[in-house]
Structure 1
Amino acid sequence: MTRFNRREFLKTLATGSAALLALRFTSGCEFVDVETFGAGGDTPFVTPQDDGVWFWQSGNSIAKEDAPNIAADDWRLSITAGDEELAQLTYQELRDLGAQGHELTYWKTLRCVFSLNLGPLLTSLIANGLFTGVPLTAVLDALDVPPEAVKVRTYGADGFTSNIPVARLSAAGQLPVMLAYELNGEPLSRLRGGPVRLIIPEMWGYKNMKWLDRIDFTANEEAFGVYETVRFRGVESIDAPGKMALANHTITLAGRNATLEGPDITIEGVAVSGDAAITEVRFSVDDGPEEPADLLGDDADEVRQSLSPALQTLMADAAQSDEAWPLPNVWVRWSANLQGLSPGSHTLTVRAFDSQGRAQQLDTGDPLTVAQAVRVPFEISG
């Protein structure tokens, strides 16, 4: 796989249809400030799907008011193999499959690829919730999917496109790819991609197609999709496997120069790895010795106690209910206590470790696989 350093990666971003700085200010992507996560910067384990709390991102850079507005009764999923239509699925048929015993729920941290730690921009394009729907395989079981198909090309009603490997649909030992119609026990809202979107546990947000209206089976192995062939053209890992990088976000500082009242402060953040569980987060101040951060939400009982009764019930029914915590593909909140800071400028460095033995460094080669360690400047008031 081609390896990219930080400078090459940023140059690659700029060769697409919008440079990172330009995208930051378009209506298709928003900055979600720390205060929207919870009172006093306290990041709840479950992100409400409310607008302005759960982040908004459009792969085609459309404004919120221009997002597809599809009534559930009008939703159709066309399943094709080239020019041949294999089936059409309605919303009611999908819900009926769920009622017949195919429904499942699982935790998923949804993260935009533009939330990579590239300075003060877009650091909060990440959210976590309980998605409910039907495995895509339950829909496909009765269809004659061409055996030579190697990719599923996915299409959204907004014109956005992407793809996933056919082999991922039936991959052993992984949570299934889902046609999701609920988030946190509520119907999937318009801005979250409703009435039905694709959810893939370990993959970046752009692979989790919103307003899904067509899937197409193809034997063509070439890269396909807006991000895969335009925005991130030439970055091999953007196409397949498309897994979220090991990364962490300093929610309290949100990647910005901040002035805080010392000498003792607490910094909070979240860490996630696409195909692994977070095992540790370490921090240092002014390149001093590393210390372990406290991991919050790495215990199922702790998470359960923070939820409403309805969400507690949903959590009990989730596919990961018997798994050890912390969970793969699901964020862990962390807290770092910085003590005895003198007035003036400081730098916080934070890096996460996962169950595959990977660790964030200041230069990790390919930030789509392992994001660079977070370095955040801040000030302590005199």
Structure 2
Amino acid sequence: MKAASPKTLSRREFLRTTSAGAAAALTGELVGRARAQDIPAAVARPAPHPLLTLADDFQDVSRGKPKPFTLTGEALVNARLTPETWRLEIVADPFTDEHVKEPATLGKQFTLADGTALDLPALEELGKKHRVRFLKAMQCLNIAAPLGQGLWEGVPLREVLRLCGPMRNARRIYYWGFHNEDPQQMFQSSLSYTQAMETPPGELPAFLAYRLNGEPIPLKRGGPVRLIVPWAHGFKSIKWLQYLAVTNDFKANDTYANQNNDPESHLKTAAYIDQAPEKYPAGSPVFVSGLAISGLSGLKRVEYWLRRVEPGAAPVVQDDETYRTGPWAECELEAPPEDWSRVLPPGTAAKEVLGFDSATGRPTTWPLHYSMISWLTTLRDLKPGKFEFRARAVDLNDFPQPEPRPIQKAGKNPVEVFRFEVV
């Protein structure tokens, strides 16, 4: 059974007129058990999900024993996890390996030992000239549910690295955060030099974030500073960032790679189904809603397949051929807001956010790349019986979920199913 979604994924008010029973979260071919008291008298059309998840409402997948955000007092200060004590070291090839024949070099390193490690005021000062802001959905490679979506703000990684002057023999940027001074708890990731330094026009850069939804990033969300990699799953967006290491090593150092995952996996275009009652009265419309993430390949549409389950019917075989021949119909996608000032934090103009036209303040694409929006469909005139509702996203290449990457190593991407009954 899928873990409970973050609050922003269940904050719709479509259960306002239902009875008190809460439906179980649904994922893939797993569903909750129906209960008689879950039959609503009527169900209101759901409103879209909020486009910004409150900082406290993100689903938490933090690591560590203890988890860094639980530190207090002197332990928090010693960990350099307060705005006043946070420091970032930037060094060249701190590791030795037999295949690194010519180590990377930097014109200038930033270290704690010589008192030059970058502090938060210096990073924010850099942000006055190079600040970036954009809307990004967070999604874990191994969890089939979005974690939340925020407006992240900070400084491109390339601008921070440029502080180091000339770089030689640089092939990758290794980075990691606070890990309780325990090597076994280190959680790290990496980008190629090209990914860090070169951003194609219209694309979003990897960057060091220090604000979320217009406020300092809370400790629980990885503050004071975390790395954000827009196109990637969450394991690339390291929390509690404290170390950057420029290396001539060609290998990824990602913790997730050591756990049999693809360290270069990209955020997938995918649809997810909201929690909902499992029984409905005959004659009542059935609203089914959810979220869709626009991954690397963008989002073209969300579509559904409604199947009446007759007694003794064979289950649907979960394979590409079955999905290709299913009678899919298109869902309604959330439209972009007319007034973004009601969505974005106070003082944030849409024209200053990447992905928006700098003159009109309107999104240049919709959905925005690497963001998520709501979808909805209304099922009417259903006769009593049992039903299965499947939803999938289709990207701009016309690849329907779970194509083209349905393997676990590149991230979970199941076609979710919602089973319900009309009585």
Q: TM-score, normalised by structure 1?
A: 0.78
Q: Aligned-pair distance for 1:280?
A: 0.6
2:86 corresponds in structure 1 to: 75
1:239 corresponds in structure 2 to: 263
1:180 maps onto 2:209 in alignment? yes
Q: String of CA shifts for 1:24-46, please: whole Å, max 9, x gaps.
A: 88xxxx75367743433644342
1:319 corresponds in structure 2 to: 354
Task: Supply the distance in 2 between the matched residues of 1:308 and 1:78 (Cα, whole angstroms).
Answer: 33
Q: String of CA shifts for 1:96-124, please: whole Å, max 9, x gaps.
A: 1112x2112111111112333xxxxxx3x
Q: Aligned-pair distance for 1:200?
A: 1.2
1:39 corresponds in structure 2 to: 13
Change beyond 3 A, Cα 1:306–1:359: farther
Change beyond 3 A, Cα 1:225–1:62: farther
**What SS does the corresponding residue of 1:78 show, helix, strand or coil?**
strand
1:259 maps onto 2:279 in alignment? yes
Q: Aligned-pair distance for 1:211?
A: 0.5
Q: Within 5 Å, give how 1:143-162 maps onto structure 2.
A: 143-144=164-165, 146-158=167-179, 159-162=186-189
1:49 maps onto 2:76 in alignment? no
Q: String of CA shifts for 1:68-112, please: whole Å, max 9, x gaps.
A: 85211110111111238811211010011112x211211111111
Task: Supply the distance in 2 between the matched residues of 1:286 and 1:203 (Cα, whole angstroms).
Answer: 34
Q: TM-score, normalised by structure 2?
A: 0.71
Task: Supply the distance in 1 between the matched residues of 2:239 and 2:136 (Cα, whole angstroms).
Answer: 15
Change beyond 3 A, Cα 1:368–1:61: farther
**Aligned amino acid, residue 292 of structure 1:** E
1:366 maps onto 2:404 in alignment? no
1:106 corresponds in structure 2 to: 134
Q: Aligned-pair distance for 1:378?
A: 1.8
Task: Supply the distance in 1 between the matched residues of 2:136 and 2:404 (Cα, whole angstroms).
Answer: 27
1:9 corresponds in structure 2 to: none
**What SS does the corresponding residue of 1:222 show, helix, strand or coil?**
coil
Task: Supply the distance in 1 between the matched residues of 2:229 and 2:213 (Cα, whole angstroms).
Answer: 16
Q: Aligned-pair distance for 1:362?
A: 8.0
Q: Aligned-pair distance for 1:198?
A: 0.5
Q: Aligned-pair distance for 1:206?
A: 0.8
1:222 maps onto 2:222 in alignment? no
Contact 2:406 2:414 in 1 (8 A): no
Q: Structure 2: 5+ residue runs without aligned partners? A: 15-45, 95-104, 111-116, 180-185, 309-325, 358-363
Q: 1:289 aligns with which of 314, 327, 342?
A: 327
2:193 corresponds in structure 1 to: 166
Change beyond 3 A, Cα 1:336–1:305: farther
**Aligned amino acid, residue 355 of structure 2:** Q
1:97 corresponds in structure 2 to: 126
**Aligned amino acid, residue 183 of structure 1:** L
Change beyond 3 A, Cα 1:364–1:225: closer
2:421 corresponds in structure 1 to: 380
**What SS does the corresponding residue of 2:369 show, helix, strand or coil?**
coil
Higher helix share: 1
Q: Structure 1: 5+ residue runs without aligned partners? A: 1-20, 117-122
Contact 2:93 2:248 in 1 (8 A): no
Contact 1:67 1:191 in 2 (8 A): no
Task: Supply the distance in 1 between the matched residues of 2:173 and 2:154 (Cα, whole angstroms).
Answer: 19
Instruction: Calculate the aligned-residue CA RMSD, in Å.
Output: 2.9
Stretch of structure 1 that moved more, 203-212 or 368-377: 368-377
Task: Supply the distance in 2 between the matched residues of 1:346 and 1:64 (Cα, whole angstroms).
Answer: 45
Task: Supply the distance in 1 between the matched residues of 2:8 and 2:367 (Cα, whole angstroms).
Answer: 23
Q: 1:213 aligns with which of 221, 238, 242?
A: 242
Change beyond 3 A, Cα 1:239–1:334: same
Change beyond 3 A, Cα 1:361–1:44: closer
Query: Percent identity between the aligned chains?
Result: 24
Contact 2:222 2:239 in 1 (8 A): yes
Report which of the two structures shows the higher radius of gyration computed on alpha carbons: 2
Task: Supply the distance in 2 between the matched residues of 1:103 and 1:308 (Cα, whole angstroms).
Answer: 16
1:279 maps onto 2:300 in alignment? yes
